Structure 1
Amino acid sequence: MKLITERHNHVALFIFAIGLCCALYINKNVSKTWVEQSYIYNIYTSTSGLPAYKYKDQEIIITNSVPYDESLLSQENLNNRQPPAELKQQWVIDDKQQLTLLKPAFHFSLWSLLPAFITIALCLLTREPITALFSGVVVGAVMLGEYNLTDNVIIPNLAKEGTAAILLLYLWLLGGLLGVWTKTGAAQAFADYMTKHFVRGPRSAKLVTWLLGILFFQGGTMSTVLVGTTVRPLADKAGVSHEEMSYIVDSTASPIASVIALNAWPAYIQALIFVPGVAFLATESDRLKFFFSSIPFSFYGILAVIGTLLLSLNITKFSGKRIRAAHHRAATTGELDASHATPLSAKELQHCHVPDGYQPHVLEFFIPLLSLIAIAVITFIAYGSPQVNWAFGGALLLSIFIALGKGMSLTNVVDGFGIGLKGVVVASVILMLAVIIGNISKEIGGGLFLVSQLGEQLPFWLLPVILQLMTMVIAFSTGTSWGTYAIAFPLAMPLAWAICQSQGLANPELFMAVCFATVLNGSVYGDQCSPISDTTILSAMTTGCDLMDHVKSQIVPATLAASLAAMLWTFTVLIFA
C-alpha cells in the first residue's frame, strides 16, 4: 500500500509539472477567444424617470446606454479586438429598443479545462484535497499571468463577500456550535434520546436522515449543513458507515431542491432563461410558471432521491460496490470509516468533553436546533432566502447562554468553542481553496468553451443529453451548480428554441422544458459529485467522512441515476416533442 501511494504521488507530481508547463505556454502563446455575454433584466421606469432594475433587492438606475452596433462589447467587435480593460459591462439598446446588459468573457478553448483537470486528477491520485486544490489554483493563476498568488489571487478571493461568509459560517459559527455541543454533551444526549425513542438501528437512522433531507428542501449548503450536523451523532451511535451517511446527505440536498423548488432557485434561474420572441418565456411570471411546469422532467433529481431512499431501506443493489462494502464493514466490524480514511472533521468533535458535574440534556440540542430552523424559515418568508448566518449565529449564542445558565464556566464554554474551530479548520481551508479554483475556472471560461461547441444542426433528440453531459462536466470541473446555470442557460435555451424552429417540432414548449430540466439536473449532478464543490466537502465534513471516500462512493449511484435520466429525456422528446 505504501509503495502504491508513493507511486501515485510521483505520478501526481509529474502531472502537476506538466500542467504548470502547459499553463506557462498558454499564458505566452494561446490567444483568448472573447465571447459576448448578454443579460436580460426586468426593466422598469424609476421615480426619476430613468430605466432601472432590481438587483439583490436594490434599485439600480441605468444612466448610460448605447446602440448595440456601437458597443465595443458586441460579438462583432469582440471578434476584431480585445475589449478595453476598464469596460467591464455596458448597457445596449437592440433593434427592438430593448435594454440588455453586455459583459465580455473569454476562454482558451480546450485549455480552459486544465486547472479543473489538474485538481481532480490530483485529488483522485493523492487523496489530499488541499494539495490538489492548491495545485489547480497555481496552474489557473499562471494561465492568467498572475504570478503573485498571495496578493493577486488568494487575498482578493478571500476578501469577497461570499468567501468571507463561508469563513464566518463554516469556521466560526458551525465549528463553534459543534464545539459547544461537544462540550455540553448536547449532541450525545440527542443521539441517546433518538436511539431510545425512534432509532432502532442503522436503517431507521438512515431513514431519519433521508426524511430530514426531504424536509429541508432549500438545497445547497443550508440543507447539507443542517441535516449532516443533526444526524451525525445518532447515525454514529446506530453504526451507520460515514460513506452511506454522506451520500444520503449530499444526494438529498440539491436534488430535492430541484424537485421541491419552493426556494430561491426559481427566482435566480428565471432571469437566465429569457429568449426573445418566445411567448411562454416573455415575462418573469411566465418564466416562473415555465420553471414549475418543467419540474416533472427533473428525472435525475427524482431518481437520486429515490436512490437514497432505497439505501435508507438497506437496499444496496443500486448503490455501487463501495457503498455496499462500507455498509458491510460497518455492520460486521463496527468501523464507520475505511482503514485508510482521513475524516474531514477532527477527532476532537467525535468525543464529548463534558466537564465534571455538568449534566447534559437533550433540550440543549433541540432548542438551538429549533431556533436555527425557525430563523431560517422566517427569514426565507421575509426576505426570499434564508439568512443562514443569522440562523447558525442564533443557535450558537443560544447554546452558549444555555450552558452558562446551567452553570458551566465561561472558560469551559470558550474551550468548547475553540475545540469546534479546531475541528473544522481543515475543511474550511478546503472550502476556501474550492471557492478560489471555482472562480478561476469561471474566469478562464471552461464552461463557456464547452457551450460554444454546440450548434443548431444537432438532431433535436440529441440535444437534451448533450446539454446534460455538458453541464455535468462544467459543474464537476467548477464545483458549482449555480455558476453553471449562469453559463449554460443563457446559451442553451436560445439554442433549444432555434432547433425547435429549424427542425419544426410539434411541441416546442415540451422540448424546451426537457432541455431546461437537463441543464438544471446536469448541473446538480456535477456539483454533487465534484470533489471541489462546497456541498460535497460539507457533506463529508458534517458526517465525518473522508472526502475522497465520499466522492468515489457516491459517483456510482449518482451516475446510474443520471444515465437513467438521460434515457428518459431522450424517450420523452422522441415520443412527445
Structure 2
Amino acid sequence: MKFRQLFLLLSAVSILCIAAPAFAADSSKGAANSQIFGFWTLVPPLVAIILAFISRNVVLSLFLGVFSGAMMLETTGFDFYHGLLGSFQRVSHEILGSLADSWNAGIVLQCLAIGGLIAVVSKMGGTLAVAEALAKKAKGPRSAQFFTWLMGLIIFFDDYANSLTVGPIMRPVTDRMQVSREKLAFIIDATAAPIAGIALISTWVAYEVGLIKDGFEQVGIQMNAYGAFVETIPYRFYNIFILFFVLAGIMLLREFGPMLKAEERARKHGKVLADNANPMASEETTQLEPGAHVVPSIWNAIIPIGTLIVAAFLGFYFNGLSAIDNAEMLAKINAAPFSFFAVRECFGASDASVVLFQAALLAGIVAMVMGVCKKVFTIEEAITTWILGIKSMTITAVILLLAWSLSGIIKELGTAIWLVSVLSDTLPPFILPSIIFVLGSVISFATGTSYGTMGILMPLAIPLAWAINGDQAYLLLNIAAVLTGAIFGDHCSPISDTTILSSMGSACDHIDHVRTQLFYALAVGGVSVLFGFLPAGLGFSPIITLPLGLAAVVAMLFLVGKKLPDAS
C-alpha cells in the first residue's frame, strides 16, 4: 500500500474516533457503553470491514479496527495524547488476552500443528498422490468440485479442521481442473460451519445445546435441550440451503455474480487467481514439493490424515468424559459407553481446541516417523519441514489474534447490545423469526463470531418467542433463526475466523474470497427468509418450506446463472 493511501486511512480512522462521543467509558460494562456511544459502537467493526475491502490488507484493517475501539474506550474528553498512549496499551493487552485465552491458544496451536502436518505430508508426496488419484476420477471442474464438497461433508465434526484440511488436499486437483481459488474457498467455507452447526455430533453441539438449556430454564420450560436442538434442524434453512446450493451449482455448472467472472477467468485463461491477488499462502510452501527420489503414495496422506480424524474422535470422547462431573450422567455413560447418548454427551463436554491440537500434533509425529522410515527425509529434515509448515501458518495466527481482539473491543463497547436494543422492537409473531435471523446476521457480520452472536441473542430470543406464542414449534423456529442467522452473518464477514481459515486453506486472496462468497451467501440468505422463515412463521411445515426453498435455489441458478464448460 502506498504511503498516501496509508495516511488517508489513518486520517479517516482518527476522524471517526474524534467524532465519537468523548465520554469516560467504563471498559468493563458493555451495556453501559452501548448507551454512552450508541451508533458509534459500530465504528470498530465498520473500520475493519470497510478498510479491508478498500486496502485489501486484512492485518492493517483489523489492527485499525481494534485501535479505533481502544481510542473510544481510553480517550476522556479531548485528551487525545493520553488517549493514544492508553489505546496502544489496550491494543497490546487485548492481543495478549486473546492469546492467553485457553480456547484461542488451542485454536492457534491447532492451526500451526495442522500446517506442520500438511507440510510433512506434502514433502512425502502424499498430497501429490491424492491429487493424482482424484485427478484420474476428477475428469473436469464438476467432479473436482464435487469431491471437494463431499470431503467437506465427511469432516463434519469441526469447522476449523474442515477448513484447514480440505483446502491443501484438494487445491492441486481444482487448480489442475481450472477451478478458481475463489470457488474452492467458497466450497470449503460453505461446508464448514453449516455442516458442523447441524451435525448431531460435533464440536458445536455442546455450546448450542447449552444455550438452549439456559434459555429454557430462564422461562421455566421443561424440555430436553438436545431433543430441541435436533428438532430445530428442519428449520435451519440457511445451513440446508447453502449446502444444497453448492451441490446444485456444481452439478449444473452454473455461476453468477463475481464468482462467474472468477470461474470464467480460470476456465478461459487458466488463471486460478486474479492478477492482483494476494493469496493467503506463504512462499515456504514452494519448498514442500517431494524430492525426485520420492515415490508418491496416497497412504502417505491417508494414514496421517486418518490419524488426525481418529485421534480427534477419540480425544473428543475421552476428554469430554473426564470433564463430566455429574454422577448420574457418568453412570449412564458407563452402562453403555458406546451408545449414541454416551458419545453425544462426551463430545459435547470436550474442549475441542485442545483435542484438535493434540490430534494434529500426534498426526504430525506419525507423518514424520513414516517419512523417516521410508527414507523420504532424515529426522532433521522432517523437523525442519514441520517447522516450515508452521511458518506458513503464521499469518493466519496473526489475523486470528487481531480478529479476536476486535471481538473483545466490540464486546466492551456493547455493539451487539446496542444493535439488539435498536432492532428488536414489538413485532407481529409471523415476522419475528425472520427479524431474529436478520438481526443475528447483522451482529455476526459486524462482530465476526457466530458463537458470540448465539450467546447474545439466545437469552433474548427464547423468552421473547415464548411470550409472543407459547407453541413449541414456534419456539423451535426462533431458536433455529438464532443459530442459523449467526452462521449466515459469520459466513459473510471478512473478520470471521472460519472465513479467514477458508482463505488460508485454499491459498486464496482473502478479500476476493469474501467478495465472491458474499454475493452467493446473500442470495441464499434471501431464499432462507422468503421461502423458509416467513412461511414457517405463518405456520407452514418444513415439509412444505424445505422443498420450496430447494426448488427456489435451483430456479435461481437457472434464471440468473450462466453455464460454464466442463471437460467431463
Place the TM-score, normalised by the shorter chain, in its bin.
0.7 to 0.9
Q: Is the 8 A contact 1:182 1:416 kept in 2?
A: no
Of 212, 218, 221, the residue aligned with 2:151 is 212
Of 524, 535, 545, the residue aligned with 2:498 is 535
SS at match of 2:211: coil
Q: Assess, with a 3 A threshold, how the Cα gap between structure 1 residues 461 and 174 changes in structure 2: closer, same or farther.
A: same
Of 370, 377, 381, the residue aligned with 1:412 is 381
Q: Please name the residue that 1:301 is paired with.
A: 239
Q: Assess, with a 3 A threshold, how the Cα gap between structure 1 residues 425 and 266 changes in structure 2: closer, same or farther.
A: closer
**Bigger strand fraction:** 1
RMSD of aligned residue pairs (Cα, Å): 2.6
Q: Is the 8 A contact 1:301 1:521 kept in 2?
A: yes
User: Size of the alignment, in residue pairs?
Assistant: 493
Amino acid at match of 2:297: H
Q: Assess, with a 3 A threshold, how the Cα gap between structure 1 residues 223 and 353 changes in structure 2: closer, same or farther.
A: closer
**1:310, 1:26 → 2: CA distance?**
51
Quote the offset at 1:122 in angstroms. 0.6
Of 434, 449, 454, the residue aligned with 1:485 is 454
TM-score, normalising length: structure 1:
0.80
Q: Please name the residue that 1:282 is paired with.
A: 222
Q: Assess, with a 3 A threshold, how the Cα gap between structure 1 residues 15 and 261 changes in structure 2: closer, same or farther.
A: farther
Q: Please name the residue that 1:70 is paired with.
A: none
Quote the offset at 1:247 in angstroms. 0.2
Q: Please name the residue that 2:289 is paired with.
A: 353
Post-superposition CA distance 1:203-226 (Å, at most 9, x none): 111101111112222242122222
Post-superposition CA distance 1:33-58 (Å, at most 9, x none): 9688xxxxxxxxxxxxxxxxxxxxxx
Q: Is 1:123 matched with 2:37?
A: no
Post-superposition CA distance 1:19-46 (Å, at most 9, x none): 33245x4444x6889688xxxxxxxxxx
Q: Please name the residue that 2:408 is paired with.
A: 439
Q: Which runs of 4+ in 1 moved over 4 A?
A: 5-11, 30-36, 104-107, 276-279
Of 17, 20, 26, the residue aligned with 1:20 is 17
Q: Is the 8 A contact 2:27 2:73 kept in 1?
A: no
Alignment of 1:485-564 (within 5 A): 485-500=454-469, 508-564=471-527
**1:32, 1:191 → 2: CA distance?**
51
Quote the offset at 1:481 in angstroms. 0.6
**1:381, 1:152 → 2: CA distance?**
35
**2:92, 2:490 → 1: CA distance?**
29
Q: Is 1:157 matched with 2:98?
A: yes
**1:271, 1:229 → 2: CA distance?**
34
Q: Which is worse superposed, 129-138 or 264-273?
A: 264-273
Q: Is the 8 A contact 1:485 1:523 kept in 2?
A: yes
**2:27, 2:511 → 1: CA distance?**
34
Highest relative contact order (Cα 8 Å, sep 6+), 1 or 2?
Answer: 2
Quote the offset at 1:468 in angstroms. 1.2
Q: Please name the residue that 1:392 is paired with.
A: 360
Q: Is the 8 A contact 2:121 2:304 kept in 1?
A: no
Quote the offset at 1:459 in angstroms. 1.3
Q: Is 1:202 matched with 2:145?
A: no
Q: Please name the residue that 1:174 is paired with.
A: 114
Quote the offset at 1:229 in angstroms. 3.2
Of 333, 337, 341, the residue aligned with 2:277 is 341
Q: Assess, with a 3 A threshold, how the Cα gap between structure 1 residues 526 and 451 changes in structure 2: closer, same or farther.
A: same
Of 268, 287, 302, the residue aligned with 1:332 is 268
**1:356, 1:6 → 2: CA distance?**
45
Q: Please name the residue that 2:432 is paired with.
A: 463
**1:393, 1:404 → 2: CA distance?**
17
**1:262, 1:204 → 2: CA distance?**
28
Q: Please name the residue that 1:572 is paired with.
A: 536
Amino acid at match of 1:119: A
Quote the offset at 1:456 in angstroms. 6.2
Gaps spanning 5+ residues in structure 1: where? 37-81, 83-103, 502-507
Q: Is the 8 A contact 2:132 2:173 kept in 1?
A: yes
SS at match of 1:343: coil
Q: Is 1:140 matched with 2:69?
A: yes
Q: Which is worse superposed, 361-370 or 138-147?
A: 138-147
Amino acid at match of 2:115: G
**2:259, 2:105 → 1: CA distance?**
35
Q: Which is worse superposed, 224-233 or 549-558?
A: 224-233
**Bigger helix fraction:** 2
TM-score, normalising length: structure 2:
0.81
Amino acid at match of 1:489: M
Of 256, 265, 282, the residue aligned with 2:195 is 256
Gaps spanning 5+ residues in structure 2: where? 75-85, 321-346, 542-568
Quote the offset at 1:374 in angstroms. 1.0
Identity %: 32
Q: Please name the residue that 2:210 is paired with.
A: 271
Of 118, 121, 125, the residue aligned with 1:185 is 125
Quote the offset at 1:547 in angstroms. 0.3
Quote the offset at 1:452 in angstroms. 2.5
